[in-house]
Amino acid sequence: MFENPNYNLDEEIESSAVLIIETQDKKSLDLSEQDAFRQTYPNAHIHFFKSGGHLREITHQDEYPEIVREFLTRSTK
């Protein structure tokens, strides 16, 4: 495998923009997984809806795109 001596995976991870959209009634990550995720991706943003289960992009179709749009706007500045 080709290795680039100028590439630093730790720096790449720390600077990565990550968004997780969860619902309080059906979480993809439990609390210990959220903590581990935040340690790995310190700049991660987790947004919670009160309800919506696995269909949060459908049950919150007005807010969902705006949350993603705002995140992407902030992440590309």
Tokens matching residue 40: 């790995």
Percentage helix, strand, coil for the chain under 3-state DSSP, each rounded to 5: 50, 15, 40
What residues in the chain have per-residue pLDDT under 70? 1-2, 7, 9-10, 13-15, 27-28, 77
Asked whether the whole model's pTM tops 0.75, one would answer no
pLDDT for the residue numbered 68 = 93
CA angle 19, 21, 26 (to 5 degrees): 145
